[in-house]
Structure 1
Amino acid sequence: MSGEAALIPDDGAFSDFRNECLSEEGWSLTYNKSGTTVWVQILEEEKSLHKIKCRMVCKDVSAESMYDVLHDIEYRRKWDSNVIETFDIGKLTVNADVGYYSWKCPKPLKNRDVITLRSWLPMGNDYIIMNYSVKHTKYPPKKDLVRAVSIQTGYLVQNQGPACCTLIYLAQVDPKGSLPKWVVNKSSQFLAPKAMKRIHKACMKYADWKQKHNPGYKPWLYPEQNPLPSIPLGELRIQHAESLENIDESSLTEGKEEHSDDEAN
């Protein structure tokens, strides 16, 4: 495989991600309501390339429970109505793996998918999960989906007390295509807040669900439980946007949707 070798993030990368989650410099506030705040950074107007950051204060969810919900792929298939398909491909270390995720985009845009290297780390009272796009020869782009690129996406969960936490979602994703401006506006003012509310709702129901679905199984906390095959890091390369087909959807107008959802991955 040609291209830049994939790397597993070190402690410095986790610290940098946390600092960006907590910084407000260079961000434009687009939404602030009911304990949820959204900011955006427009990076390249003509390519619709932007960063989005969402913060939600949860006064009735522990940081540990939030961390479990964000990790639990079986539960995600239940609560994330936006998911088309998601599965783990293999493990790299005790706190890094590779996975596939495809999701529904607002109509009439084409749906997207990603292959990502995901890593996670508890840091004091904080928990961090973050990912970036990689390519694997066994999982090339599909004909019916646009392969997007996660430049850096992730969650910071901060413990604010026994049953209180703050969740920050930070995403820089290249959607691989020229998107209409309404997509960015809709993401920041409607889809992102809706996604955060759905995560909160999922957290409230998780304990009951987990009690009936393999309650002791949490490989993100207990690596010895992880059944995934090991993948040599050398099989992965960083997925750069330039090597993927660009789709021009800039002229598409917003379609009517039954229940469109977020693009959280």
Structure 2
Amino acid sequence: MSSRESILPTEADFADFRKQCLSSDNWANKYDKHGRQVWVEVHPGKKKNQVPKVHKIKCKMVIDDVPAATMYDVLHDSIFRKTWDSAMNESFDIAKLSNNADVGYYSWRCPPPIKNRDVVTLRSWQVKDDEYIIINFSVKHPKHPPNKLNVRAISLLTGYYIKPTGANSCVFIYLSQADPMGSLPKWVINKASQVLAPRVMSRVHSAGRSYSEWKQQNNPEYKPWLYPEQSKLPMMNPAELSIQKADELEQVDETFKVDAQECEDSS
């Protein structure tokens, strides 16, 4: 991406993300219960040392009681997120990059003695052909460097694909390849992500059920992700941002045993 003129996602990036969400090739199913499925990407033909250490996971949920448009609003509404995301420590939008892109900060709690995590991401979105897509990846922002309170995590690629299946139903897909960094063993990270993903999906679904009623009481007309002219964020030149790479971050030592089901990443 560094050779491109802009750091902002292109039409091809959205098309590739959509393809990954809908493809069944090179994905191994790890969970299939209660209308929720979890897959892990596999790399046939590659040697073990060529396979990425951090899994790319994909979760699919069939929702039969919330419209696609509502689930899309839930993912965007940072004020509403404070009512349902119990793992969140702090979250705020930093700046607007274009009519369909911004940069933001998010930090979340991990159970002691694991240090809390945070991330700065460029988020971009697209509504096209009755499909909703949101993607994000980690960036370096000059005014929001890593701090001593958190371990700076990395989203290599994280996003959502939502498609209506009816007036009040939809398919909801979450895809992510993220590294919480620190010195947690990669097998712990990969195992935890498979266990936690269905829980996070359930939480988002529950939030979707209550969103419409909440929004009626909380600035119901304000949806800058749909109406860019409503945005109150300062504009920022995307050229001021760069991709955040793992080898540029300080290695934080967290040498201890940890339950693979406990470290929660809901970013």
**What TM-score results when the alignment is normalised by the length of structure 2?**
0.90
Residues 100 and 165 of structure 1: is their aligned pair in 2 closer, same or farther, counting only changes over 3 Å?
A: same
Matches within 5 A, 1:87-236: 87-180=92-185, 181-189=187-195, 191-236=196-241
**Structure 1 runs (4+) greater than 6 angstroms displaced:** 2-5, 42-47
* SS of equivalent to 1:92: strand
Q: CA deviation at 1:251?
A: 4.3
Matched residue count: 260
Q: Hey, what does 1:263 align to over in structure 2?
A: 265
Q: 1:101–1:113: 8 Å Cα contact kept in structure 2?
A: yes
Which stretch has the larger CA shift, 134-143 or 170-179? 170-179
> How far does the alpha carbon of each residue in 1:121-172 deviate from its partner, in whole angstroms, 9 at most, with x for none?
0121210000011111110101021101111100001111100101100111
Displacement of 1:62 after TM fit? 0.5
What is the rounded CA distance, in whole Å, between the counterparts of 1:141 and 1:218 in structure 2? 30
Partner letter of residue 32 of structure 2? N
1:192-212, Cα deviation, whole Å (9 max, x unpaired): 111000000000000110011
- Counting aligned pairs with the same residue, the percent is 50
Structure 1 range deviating more: 41-50 or 164-173 = 41-50
Q: What is the CA distance between 1:27 and its match in structure 2? A: 1.8
Contact 1:97-1:118 at 8 Å conserved across structures:
yes
Question: Is the contact made by 1:48 and 1:179 (CA closer than 8 Å) also made in structure 2?
Answer: no
Match of 2:11 in 1: 11
2:74 counterpart of 1:74: no
Unpaired runs of 5+ in structure 1?
A: none
Supply the AA of the counterpart residue of 2:82: R
Stretch moving more, 243-252 or 13-22: 243-252
- Which is worse superposed, 46-55 or 138-147? 46-55
Distance in 2, matches of 1:39 and 1:134, equals 26
SS of the aligned residue for 1:65 comes to: helix
Which segments of 5 or more consecutive residues in structure 2 lack a partner in the other structure?
A: none
**Is the CA contact (8 Å cut-off) linking 2:26 and 2:42 kept in structure 1?**
no
TM-score w.r.t. the length of structure 1 is 0.90
| 2:41 maps to amino acid | Q
Contact 1:41 1:51 in 2 (8 A): yes
Of 195-204 and 246-255, the range deviating more from structure 2: 246-255
SS for the counterpart of 1:167 is strand
